[in-house]
Amino acid sequence: EDDSPQLKLNSQSAVLIDGETGRVLFGKGEEIVRPMASTTKIMTCILALENGDPDDEVEVSSYAAGQPKVHLGAPSGRKFLMKDLLYSLMLESHNDTAVMLAEYVAGDVKNFASMMNEKAREIGCENTWFITPNGLDARETDEKGEEKFHSTTAKDLAGIMRYCTWKSPKSREFLTITETQNHSFTDLDKKGSYSCVNHNALLTMMDGVLSGKTGFTGGAGYSYVASLEDNGRKYVIALLGCGWPPHKTYKWS
């Protein structure tokens, strides 16, 4: 229930939290479990930063190369610097890159999903369940035989962004990537050149925006998470189920 009549939100779930304390300042369905699409990739990025070396080589596997669009589109066997892949992940939201990074950090996607879920619990996000590193709609049965789907709550998603922006030992590196407007790179053998453009429109629409990540799948609708500072105060916003095509701009309004 929206108890403030002046706020007409298109989003099924929305939250505004205090970046300092994590306290919920405003919520609408903020505890409802929903799919979160590519906003997932903030967790993929922070785990890669915390567990990897930006100058490491990452090779494209055939499994990664087979991921659906939006993708970097590099063939299997091609090698990249890990740091370049983080721009591909966060600016263009490439699904194959997310798998490359997961395999690089944890050996395979299943092990990486376990790391994602462990990190979520560690930072107090109890209602989040990761299956994929890229946020594509997914379901699985856990060891207790319970049906799970790739999901979070607006409150948990905001909590993960709060961690990435201010709490992680790699926060500075995370922010450097996500505030970049454009990044171009080649693979290590210079067989292809790639360029990335940041799709976080709020960065240029509003003062004080530090970081953000958009997402869309058929199951999740449009989603968005962002961190910002205003007059010395820290905030995070998260939106889940904020419209479906053609309402791509709902999240910005």
- Which listed residue (13, 38, 88, 171) is catalytic? 38
Can you tell me the distance from the alpha carbon of 222 to that of 220, in angstroms, rounded to the nearest whole number?
6
Would you state the structure tokens that stand for residue 52, as one six-digit string?
Answer: 């990897």
Catalytic, 11? Answer no
- Range list of β-strands (E), 65-190: 79-81, 139-141, 147-149, 182-186
The amino acid occupying position 107 is G
- Which listed residue (41, 83, 119, 155) is catalytic? 41
Q: Are 123 and 163 in contact (CB under 8 A)?
A: yes
- Which listed residue (13, 88, 93, 211) is catalytic? 93
Q: 81 in helix, strand or coil?
A: strand
Can you tell me the distance from the alpha carbon of 89 to that of 72, in angstroms, rounded to the nearest whole number?
9
Catalytic, 144? Answer no
Radius of gyration of the chain (CA): 17
Give start and end residues of each alpha helix (H) in 31-91.
41-51, 62-65, 82-91
Catalytic, 28? Answer no
Q: Are 227 and 212 in contact (CB under 8 A)?
A: yes
Residue located via tokens 């990537």: 177
Q: Are 51 and 192 in contact (CB under 8 A)?
A: no
Residues belonging to the active site = 38, 41, 93
